[in-house]
Amino acid sequence: MATIASASINFDKIDQSKLIQGKNGQYFNVTITINDEPDKFGNNVTIVESQSVEEREAKKTKNYLANGKVIWTSEKKNDLPY
C-alpha cells in the first residue's frame, strides 16, 4: 500500500539541540504516526520529535510539531476517510 500525507511543521517548536550535523547537511529525527481514525479536525497524521530510549522510559512529554492528513492511498477500502 502506498500513502501520501500532507502536514506543516512548526520549525519554532524544534529543539535546536537535537539537530544532527551530517556529511550532507543538518538532520532532525521525527516520528510520524498515521492513525486509523481522524480527529475532530479531520487530521489523522501526527509528527513528533523523535525520543531517545531514555526519554521514552522517563515518559518525557512528546514535542508535537505538526498534524496533517492522509490525502491519498492506493488501498481501496470504502471505510477510509480519504
What's the pLDDT at 1? Answer: 75
Q: What are phi and psi of 23, to 5 degrees?
A: -65, -35
Q: Which of 72, 1, 10, 2 is nearest to 47 (CA)?
A: 10
Segments of the chain with pLDDT less than 70: 76-82
Residues 9 and 47: beta-carbon distance below 8 Å? yes
Q: What is the pLDDT of residues 51-68, one digit of tens each?
A: 999 999 999 999 999 999
Contacts of 53 (CB under 8 A, 6+ apart): none
pTM for the model: 0.82
Q: Which of 8, 64, 77 is nearest to 36 (CA)?
A: 77
What's the pLDDT at 79? Answer: 56
Q: Cell 486509523, residue?
A: 36
Residues 40 and 65: beta-carbon distance below 8 Å? no
